[in-house]
Chain A
Amino acid sequence: METAVEINGIKKFYNGKVKALDGIDLRVGAGKVFAVLGPNGAGKTTLMRILTTQIKPTSGDASIFGLDVMKDDSETRKLISYVPQEMSVWTDISGYENLLIYAKIYGIPAGERKKLINGMLRTMGIESFAGSLVRNYSGGMIRRLEIACALIIKPKILFLDEPTIGLDPSARKTVWEKLMSFKDENGVTIFFNTHYMDEADIYSDQIAIMNAGKIVKLGTAQELKHSLGGEIISFGIEGKISAGAVKKIRGIKIVTGATADENGLRVFASDAGVALPRITDILEKGGVYIKEVSIKKPTLDDVFLKYAGTKIETAERVTDIRYTRDRIKR
Chain B
Amino acid sequence: MTSIGTGYDLSNSVFSPDGRNFQVEYAVKAVENGGTAIGIRCKDGVVLALEKLVTSRLLKKDANKRIATVDRNIGVVHSGLLPDGRHFVSRARDEAQSWRGTYKAPIPVSSLANRMGSYVQAFTLYSSVRPFGITAIVGGWDAETDVDVDGAVGSGPKVGAGGKTKGVKEGGPYLYMIEPSGLYWGYYGAATGKGRQAAKAELEKLKLDPKDGECISLEEGVKEAARIIYVAHEDSKDKDFELEMTWISAVNGPTKGRHEEVPKALKEEAERLAKAALEGEDEDEEKMEK
Q: Do these two chains really belong together in a complex? A: no
The interface of chain B, by Cβ under 8 A from chain A, is none
